[in-house]
Structure 1
Amino acid sequence: MGQRHLAIDIGASSGRHIVGEVIDGRMVLEEVYRFENGLIEKDGHLCWDMDKLFKNVVEGLRVAGERGLVPDTIGIDTWAVDYVLLDADDHRIGDAVGYRDSRTQGVRDLLEKQHILSFDEQYMRCGIQYQQFNTCYQLYAQKAEHPEQLASARTFLMVPDYLNFLLCGVKANEYTNASTTALVNAKTMDWDNGLIDRLGLPREIFQPISMPGTVLGTFTPEIAERVGYSAQIVLPATHDTGSAWLAVPARDEKAVYLSSGTWSLLGCELRSAITTPASAQANFTNEGGYEGRFRYLKNIMGLWMIQNVRRELGKETGALPSWGELVKAAEAARTEGFAATVDVDQPAFLAPQSMVSEIRQACREAGKSVPETAGEVALVVYDSLASDYARCVQELKELTGTDYTSINIVGGGSNNAYLNQATADATGLPVFAGPTEGTALGNLMVQFIAEGAYPDLESARRALKDSFEITEYQPR
């Protein structure tokens, strides 16, 4: 009998524990625990509650055992760029400030104005697109605000690295997440000491980089006692997009990948990074992937916009609308002739007080029809995303010289039939939607391969098509 594995998949708004097994060559999943996550305001910053987050990680492990689903291995994936610092006694220093915090505003301009580091040079070395919340800017902002914290730091761990450390006591920086810091050299796939020195950061806090598939360790005795068993920790692609990328059942090498969730990550898989000036200008990123691959992609605001719209509507009406109701309302607005799109990557949409108000203001400033009803607002979001996807696919074609044949959508957004069809229509390419649990699946696939259930990634990807439903949308 094969082994049982557990993916702990944590996003910005929720997390879940999903058990996975390979039975007769097919992947079988079962969710055992789910919890909420989110930023809290503390001392003027938006922060992650790391103690609560770890408590939920442990509770989910305990529940899995209680249900008789004891895993042989576990893997953790989370969002990217955020981190914690530890002192000489391995205690956290300060708070785990989140990427939606405003502390990094203006850092890039400051670095260039003071001739410390230009983005062009940084991109040429690490290939990571500019985002104001990149880890390198967060560290520089923290050094400016709290120099004493960097001075006392002995360890830098990204969020999944820190959770792994609490479970097994081993410190390591996993490659796919480390690459998003914009401090890892795209050629050597290791820390770029030159960049670290230029930013005045302490080199000794960065841990050895470990690749996905590495067996990190086993639960500490304390954790084993709390959950009722011990298990090995296998590093998946700890960056959730890196895991989601693995679960794309691409039909050929000319497939566009789209991980659709809070963020939309659109791009392709490459064996070497593209760090040309044209790539930098287009703001595409070269994030590290499984087996040294590169996820060449662009970050797009994604379903974050409609998630906020939904919350606002729930507060206004006292009843949270379902996703299906929002889609139906958007379709009705389209039938009635409403049409408007906005640039979804405007900074105003990153952490607004009111997403609905910002969408209306963006339409107003662009001279577009201003959405009034919930359906019209939802339609603006969906059509704007589809329009942006089409633009990014064209940029991708120009940068890679590849004529793409399809778009493969994984993640929660793959359930949105309206957005999937709109994407096919806007890009002129067939869309293959599914599997939904892309990130957790990619996490588990690394564990399956480590076990020997599949000999390699290609075999695991072929098994996806036999294990999960894939829905096709043809352009109209």
Structure 2
Amino acid sequence: MEQYYLAIDIGASSGRHILGRKEGERMVLEEIHRFPNGMTEKNGELVWDVDGLFAEIKAGMKKCAVQGKIPVSVGIDTWAVDFVLLDEENKRIGNAVAYRDARTRGMDDEVYRIVPEEELYRRTGIQKQIFNTVYQLMALKKRQPQQLAKARKLLMIPDYFHYLLTGTAAAEYTNATTTQLVGPETKTWDMELIKRLGYPEEIFQRIKTPGTMLGNLTEDLQKELGYDCKVILPATHDTGSAVMAVPSGKEDVLYISSGTWSLMGTELMRADCSEESKLHNLTNEGGYDFRFRYLKNIMGLWMIQSVKKEIGQNMDYGTICRLASEETIASLVDCNEERFLSPASMTAEVQHACRDSGQEVPEGIGQTAAVIYNSLAECYARTIGEIEEITGKQYDRIHIVGGGANAGYLTGLTAKATKRTVIAGPIEATAIGNIAAQMIAGGELRDLKEARECIYRSFPMEIYNKNIDNRKDNK
């Protein structure tokens, strides 16, 4: 009898339910449900519709029953840093505010008045991003202290959905580390840091690792869905799951988890919280089996997605890539600048950045996309140099996993800019890593090494040679 494992993978623009099963020595996937996601404005804040998302979670789970494919377990992964607060009656307090909301502006200075930036990095190893949870909590403390006063639980977004499924509140490790409040040595909340910052210590839930069985579905959900299954924690940070799916048996591997964001890095067994690492703005996010995802957070395809909405609404990404490949504009921007985080117009912001630096200003979708794609490739090349300098290791190839692995034009530019062979795939890396964690917990895979071997056998990949012009591949 086939055993199904359900990965619910929710990104910033869409979510999907994917069933996985073993078929011999291979993993087989089947998409069951897909739905849109996005930030909306409510009461002056950019927020996530978590009620709507949970309704979609249940809708997809019901489809499993309709098709007679009942999962033995389910796990949810999402983006990081965002959270909800629950009161003493376990009711949600306020909005589920999104990381692109402006409430964190200036909150880094407020944090550093209490805990200097150098100490914060030394204690947590986490890259400064103005939207990190540590700054979001400071925004609440300064502007909405009544919400923190009422709070009894803080749950990251996937932790909240798992709580709704099971009634059990817990903090999953990989997502907890992105709060910038977890110690890389202790692998748990830095309560001294939390206390100094004035955040209520009791709201932080016990940290549990990927592979933990959280519980079964609540009785109400069992009645609503028509079945019961286990809830197994995957690496709930989507990048944590995606990195599990990097199809390589080597220990020293360089990857880009490519989607709305580009997360570029390697795996370390011990966090690097040095001053040199901080100066390069590299982060030590928690990974599966207490590995560290040593990476840089790069703006990613969010820039292209935004420009498409603004001036390329009627085009698909293949057409945009083709138009970009035909342009000769040489202008570049720094994709990591905060100005590109949430501009009123991405197109205008790219133009302003080129004008400010005295470069040719792009016009139209082709030139604007060319500037962005080439800038991303150059950013990847710089980041490789930084990682190699700090780790003292050389990387001869790059694995690109996630939705961006399908962007052949960018992958070709990356091979050329980095002078490395690039291996693209699997595309559904996050869901695959989610399923892999469940399969390991269920005994169908022994460990991470066997999971990656299975993934290598199961999914197609494309190789982009560093010495070949790959621009004709405009998928």
Indicate whether the TM-score tops 0.5: yes
Can you give the 5+ residue segments of structure 2 that lack an aligned partner in the other structure? 468-475
Alignment of 1:294-309 (within 5 A): 294-309=292-307
Q: CA deviation at 1:156?
A: 0.7
- Deviation track 1:199-238 (CA, whole Å, cap 9, x = no partner) reads 1011011110000000000111111122221110000000
| TM-superposed deviation, 1:314 | 4.1
**Aligned equivalent of 1:73:** 73
User: 1:111: how far off?
Assistant: 2.8
Q: How does 1:350-369 map to 2 (within 5 A)?
A: 350-369=341-360
Letter in 1 for 2:340: F
Give the structure 2 partner of residue 181 of structure 1.
179
Question: What's the offset of the Cα at 1:404?
Answer: 1.0
Query: What does 1:97-112 align with in structure 2 at a 5 Å threshold?
Result: 97-112=97-112
Residue 458 of structure 2: aligned partner: 467
In the alignment, what sits opposite 1:165?
163
Matched-pair contact (CA < 8 Å) for 2:212–2:233: yes
Kindly report which structure 2 residues correspond to 1:178-327, keeping only aligned pairs within 5 A, or say none. 178-315=176-313, 319=314, 321-327=315-321
- Contact 2:12 2:38 (8 Å CA) reproduced: yes
Question: Which whole-Å CA distance do the structure 1 matches of 2:213 and 2:331 have between them?
Answer: 50
**SS in structure 1 opposite 2:21?**
strand
Classify the secondary structure of the residue corresponding to 1:258. strand
Partners in 1 of 2:122 and 2:338 — Cα distance?
Answer: 24
Q: Distance in 2 between matches of 1:28 and 1:105?
A: 44
Q: CA deviation at 1:5?
A: 0.4
Q: Distance in 2 between matches of 1:285 and 1:213?
A: 23
SS in 1 for 2:104: coil
User: CA offset at residue 366 of structure 1?
Assistant: 1.2
2:326 counterpart (308, 325, 332): 332
Would you say the 8 A contact 1:254–1:405 is kept in 2? no
How many residues are treated as equivalent by the alignment?
467
> How far is the alpha carbon of 1:75 from its aligned partner?
0.5
* Structure 1 residues 353-392: Cα deviation after superposition (integer angstroms, max 9, x where no partner): 1111111111111111111121111111110000000000
Report the alpha carbon displacement of residue 21 of structure 1 after superposing the two structures with TM: 0.3
Letter in 2 for 1:404: Y
Contact 2:256 2:262 in 1 (8 A): yes
The one-letter code of the counterpart of 1:332 is: E
Within 2, Cα distance between the matches of 1:314 and 1:202?
46
Which residue of structure 2 lines up, in the alignment, with residue 391 of structure 1? 382
* Pairwise CA distance, 1:110: 2.5
Q: What's the counterpart of residue 55 of structure 1?
A: 55
Rounded Cα–Cα distance in structure 1 between residues aligned with 2:253 and 2:152: 43
Is the Cα–Cα contact under 8 Å of residues 254 and 406 in structure 1 kept in the other structure?
no
Q: What's the secondary structure of 2:102's corresponding residue?
A: coil
Q: Which residue of 1 aligns with 2:425?
A: 434
Which residue of structure 2 lines up, in the alignment, with residue 3 of structure 1?
3
Question: Contact 2:152 / 2:202 at 8 angstroms: preserved in 1?
Answer: yes
Q: Secondary structure at the match of 2:105?
A: coil
Tell me the SS of whatever aligns to 1:425. helix
Match of 2:150 among 149, 152, 156: 152
Deviation at 1:243, TM superposition (A): 0.2
Give me the whole-angstrom Cα distance separating, in 2, the residues matched to 1:110 and 1:152.
22
Which one-letter code corresponds to 1:346 in the other structure? E
2:463 partner amino acid: E
* Cα shift readout 1:90-109 (whole Å, capped 9, x = no counterpart): 00011111100011111112
| Identity among equivalent pairs (%) | 52
Which shows bigger deviation, 455-464 or 385-394?
A: 455-464
In structure 2, distance between residues paired with 1:250 and 1:266: 16
1:134-145 equivalences in 2 (<5 Å): 134-145=132-143
Alpha-carbon shift at residue 2 of structure 1 (Å):
4.3
Question: When the two structures are superposed, what TM-score results if normalisation uses the length of structure 2?
Answer: 0.97
Cα RMSD for the two superposed structures: 1.0
Tell me the secondary structure at the aligned position of residue 71 of structure 2: coil
Q: CA deviation at 1:451?
A: 1.4
Which amino acid in the other structure matches residue 161 of structure 1? D
Structure 1 residues 428 and 251, CA gap change in structure 2 (3 angstroms): farther
- How far apart are residue 443 of structure 1 and its match? 0.3
Displacement after TM superposition at 1:250 (Å): 2.2
2:26 is matched with which residue?
26
Describe the superposition over 1:109-144 as per-residue Cα deviations: whole angstroms up to 9, x where unpaired. Answer: 2333xx311111011011001000010110111111
Partner residue of 2:472?
none
* Aligned-residue offset at 1:251: 5.0
Give the gaps of 5 or more residues in structure 1: none
Return the TM-score normalized by structure 1: 0.97
Is the contact made by 2:126 and 2:285 (CA closer than 8 Å) also made in structure 1? yes
Contact persistence 1:107–1:141 (CA under 8 A): yes
Superposition deviation, residue 470 in structure 1: 1.1
Distance 1:419 1:206 in 2: 40
Q: For 1:97, what is the secondary structure of its paired residue?
A: coil
1:443 equivalent in structure 2 = 434
Task: Give, in whole Å, the separation in 1 of the partners of 2:392 and 2:106.
Answer: 34
Q: Who is 2:44 aligned against?
A: 44
Q: Relative to structure 2, which stretch is displaced further, 102-111 or 162-171?
A: 102-111
Which shows bigger deviation, 72-81 or 306-315?
306-315
Question: Partners in 1 of 2:163 and 2:253 — Cα distance?
Answer: 36
Partner residue, 1:126: 124
Amino acid at match of 1:64: C
Deviation of 1:37 (Å):
0.7
Return the letter of the residue paired with 2:124. C
What whole-Å deviation, never above 9, does each CA across 1:216-271 have from its counterpart, x for those lacking one?
Answer: 00111111122221110000000000000000012523321110000000000010
* Paired AA for residue 328 in structure 1: R
